[in-house]
Amino acid sequence: MLREQFPILNTSVYGHPLVYLDNAATTQKPLTVINAIDDYYKTLNSNIHRGVHHLAAAATELHEQTRRKVQHFLNARHSHEIVFTRGTTESINLVASSFGKRYIQPGDEVIVSGMEHHSNIVPWQLTGATLRPIPFSDEGVLDIDAFSSLFNNRTRIVAVNHVSNTLGTINPVKEIVRIAHEHGVPTLIDGAQSVAHMRADVQDIGCDFYCFSGHKMYAPMGIGVLYGREEMLQELPPYQGGGEMIKDVTFERTTYNELPFKFEAGTPSVGDTLGLSSAIDFIESIGIDNIAAHENQLLTYATSQLLQIERSRIYGSAPNKAAVLSFLIGKAHPYDIGTLLDKLGIAVRTGHHCTQPIMDRYGISGTVRVSFALYNTREEVDILIKALQRIAPMLD
Ligand SMILES: Cc1ncc(COP(=O)(O)O)c(C=O)c1O
């Protein structure tokens, strides 16, 4: 049984079996991933890339094998286009910092979408650029005509998410990249909410950068990925300085290591890399298309059930949606709904979900967000709906 591979799903909260519906925040980890990390520390722990001894060589080999696995997972052209980071946030900061130093002057512009996570807004603001957000409809669909009209000779990069963590919208990233490239502008895609739920093929999308976090795809926290097109990465200055990213150091001058090591200063989180490797194996053993189909069924069912609850409103009803369901009931504060659900063992997220501009767009302070993963079931949706029916009369 799939769920048996996730020990935490067998636990209870306040005497109720845990119903975990906060997967957009982080997914739970299967035993194979937990064991991969455990095995590393029990049998292989050593610092990689710099040792002649057996442990260092063996750990280096597994670490670099993972890079090749990620390359195939994203269908990147080369393994040196895969840079390990701590997560999506660090990947975006790396690009904003390095790309910003090279190409962004005060007064230049960065196009983002109106539905970005703060981590795809703030790093660009730190470059001194002016942000130009792509507007979106009430349903949560980006206005592509408006997007096309945002370009001018100060536009330096387009940075948009593949899937919105609040509205669930799957954005037409291939079309967005095509339009940006027609204007001669490079692109970064934030894949934090896509890689665990749908195929992400960087060559098909055609983007220059793609970012994701391991912990949202069944891997541990502390490991993430930046894919960068080779020609693009070659042009960028390093992000951080330190060991591993250098070729030669004197007090006068330093030359930098080749890709991808130029962007990987210091000791990497090897145990977490091996956890990521195991998580990719896990996803591939089930099949990303099977995962997408299952989560889609849950989303369709949960949406229809939720709409039957009196005074419920869903935020985000794009025709092309991933397994995220944001909603409110009447005038109730999302925090109150979340707290009452928690008492029944149901874990959901409440608040602005690090997307305050979306909340401003709808004139609300936050939502309740349910988000599905491959281990969620129809029965869990029924438990959620029953709980909401029970608590709805207690609200406002
Ligand atoms: C769309 C999106 N981008 C970026 C992030 C940031 O990811 P992390 O905190 O793992 O760096 C998140 C996390 O929720 C997200 O949903």
DSSP 204-261: HHT-SEEEEEGGGGTSPTT-EEEEE-HHHHHHSPPSS-STTSEEEE-SS-EEEPPTTG
Cβ-in-10-Å burial (0-12, 13-18, 19+) of 176 comes to buried
- Tell how far the Cα of 64 is from the centroid of ligand 1, in angstroms: 25
> What pLDDT, in 10s, does the model give residues 364-374?
999 999 999 99
Our answer on whether the CB atom of 116 is closer than 6 Å to any ligand 1 atom is: no
Is the distance from CB of 152 to CB of 109 less than 8 angstroms?
yes
Please, what's the b/e burial string for 190-205 (b: 16 or more CB within 10 A of its CB; e: otherwise)?
Answer: bbbbbbbbbebebeeb
The pLDDT assigned to 244 comes to: 87
Our answer on whether the CB atom of 166 is closer than 6 Å to any ligand 1 atom is: no
Question: CB-based contacts of 378: which residues, under 8 Å, 6+ apart?
Answer: 297, 298, 301
> What pLDDT, in 10s, does the model give residues 204-226?
999 999 999 999 999 999 999 99
The pLDDT assigned to 393 comes to: 87
Cβ-in-10-Å burial (0-12, 13-18, 19+) of 9 comes to middle
34, 354, 359, 395: which one is catalytic? 354
Is the distance from CB of 215 to CB of 87 less than 8 angstroms?
yes
> Angle formed by the axes of helices 54-74 and 270-286, to 10°?
40
> Angle formed by the axes of helices 334-343 and 378-391, to 10°?
120
Return the percent helix, strand and coil in the chain, to nearest 5: 45, 20, 40
Our answer on whether the CB atom of 91 is closer than 6 Å to any ligand 1 atom is: no
The pLDDT assigned to 197 comes to: 96
The pLDDT assigned to 210 comes to: 99
Domains and CATH numbers, the chain: 3-30+288-394 (3.90.1150.10), 33-285 (3.40.640.10)
Is the distance from CB of 144 to CB of 151 less than 8 angstroms?
no
- Tell how far the Cα of 111 is from the centroid of ligand 1, in angstroms: 18
Q: Is the pTM of this model over 0.85?
A: yes
Tokens 């707290």 correspond to what residue? 339
- 87 Cα nearest atom in ligand 1: 11
- Tell how far the Cα of 189 is from the centroid of ligand 1, in angstroms: 12
The pLDDT assigned to 332 comes to: 95
Our answer on whether the CB atom of 89 is closer than 6 Å to any ligand 1 atom is: yes
- Tell how far the Cα of 103 is from the centroid of ligand 1, in angstroms: 25
- 164 Cα nearest atom in ligand 1: 1
The pLDDT assigned to 396 comes to: 67
Sign of the dihedral defined by the CA atoms of residues 100, 124, 372, 168, in that order: negative
**Peptide bond preceding 135: is omega within 30 degrees of 0, i.e. cis?**
no
354 is catalytic: yes
The whole-angstrom distance between residue 144's C-alpha and the CA centroid of its chain comes to 23
Longest dimension (CA), the chain: 71
Question: Can you give the pLDDT of all 396 residues of the chain as single tens digits?
Answer: 899 999 999 999 999 999 999 999 999 999 999 999 999 999 999 999 877 999 999 999 999 999 999 999 999 999 999 999 999 999 999 999 999 999 999 999 999 999 999 999 999 999 999 999 999 999 999 999 999 999 999 999 999 999 999 999 999 999 999 999 999 999 999 999 999 999 999 999 999 999 999 999 999 999 999 999 999 999 999 999 999 898 999 999 999 999 999 999 999 999 999 999 999 999 999 999 999 999 999 999 999 999 999 999 999 999 999 999 999 999 999 999 999 999 999 999 999 999 999 999 999 999 999 999 999 999 999 999 999 999 998 886
The pLDDT assigned to 50 comes to: 78
Question: CB-based contacts of 36: which residues, under 8 Å, 6+ apart?
Answer: 274, 275, 277, 278
Our answer on whether the CB atom of 192 is closer than 6 Å to any ligand 1 atom is: yes
Sign of the dihedral defined by the CA atoms of residues 134, 107, 205, 184, in that order: positive
Our answer on whether the CB atom of 93 is closer than 6 Å to any ligand 1 atom is: no
For residues 88 and 210, give the distance between their C-alpha atoms in angstroms, rounded to a whole number: 9
Best residue among 86, 161, 170, 193 to mutate for probing ligand 1, ranked by most atoms within 8 Å of CB: 193
